[in-house]
Amino acid sequence: MKIHLKILPLLCFITLIHSTVSFGQTVIKPPVSSPVEARVQGEEQIPANFYGVSFYKPTYILPYYYTGSPDNAAYQNTTPNSERLKHPEIKYQLSFKVPVWKNIFNHPSTLYLAYTQLSYWQLYNNRAFVRENDYEPELFFANEVNWHLFKKWNLNFLNVGAVHQSNGYGNSLERSWNRLYLEAIASTDNWMVSIKPWYVISTNNNNNNMATFLGYAKVLVAYKFHQQVFSIQGYNLVEHGVKRASAEATWSFPITSYIKGYVQVFSGYGQSLIEYNHRTNSAGVGISLNDWV
């Protein structure tokens, strides 16, 4: 593997850490009542210029990520020297968003362009190679409503968006789908809940049954305890009698002012797009630059 591919994750994280430090030096946070409101107020401090980029989904790197049952069948005769997948590998995700149009018609709504990339790097194999890159560009309206629901719970956002997700192989390994979605985000004190149903517009011929394994909605619950964040997200929870349900749990905790320790556990289908119909159990440890709240 060429050296520039090997150092790509490190270069990306150095750049993001530098950006995080720059943002963190100018942010003054007023009192807030929920972690969602805290994140919104932090993002409002980012300068409104070309570089006013904020984190979207968690951005992290797991130098040790162990998959219990790698999907070797999907990669047969396609890896360097036909290497079988090793159980341990490196997993990392980069995710950011940038506002395209803020305060639409003087309403607290923003049109965002977002991008997320999830990668799996077989660094510990005899010949290192990146086995999967999942690319996820997204365009969505974040509509801030702040409706009171009950007790201390508020509905903070009603979002609507369009998302494309693919691994870019362009052959029998190609996996992709396009979706429209709605998302409701509610919070109270230290809790955040997101419910995100979607409609599948189209899929690749290699994965026509993607929704059978990944479902038609995702539920995310996050809890912030001091500077630690615990989260769990699940999909395909009810569509097929839970027999194809999948879940991912994470725990982040502060190491420095800008870097968090990060632990992740996954069980189910769709760990990556190419494995959408392959069940596995995985776990990893590393660092993150942000979390859901």
In this prediction, residue 12 carries a pLDDT of 53
Q: Catalytic: 164?
A: yes
- DSSP assignment of the chain equals --HHHHSHHHHHHHHHHHHHHHHHTT--PPP-SSHHHHHHHHHHTS-SSTT--EE-S--EEEEEEEESS--GGGGTTTSGGGPPPPSEEEEEEEEEEEEEEESGGGSSEEEEEEEEEEEEEETTSSS-EEEEEEEEEEEEEEEEEEEEEETTEEEEEEEEEEEEEE----STT--EEEEEEEEEEEEETTEEEEEEEEEEEEE-GGGTTHHHHH-SEEEEEEEEETTEEEEEEEESSSTTTTTT-EEEEEEEEESSSS-EEEEEEEEEE-SSGGGTT-EEEEEEEEEES----
In this prediction, residue 30 carries a pLDDT of 46
In this prediction, residue 31 carries a pLDDT of 55
In this prediction, residue 247 carries a pLDDT of 96
Q: Which of 166, 252, 272, 288 is catalytic?
A: 166
Q: Catalytic: 172?
A: no
In this prediction, residue 53 carries a pLDDT of 85
Give me the residues of the chain with pLDDT under 50, please: 1-7, 9-10, 14-30
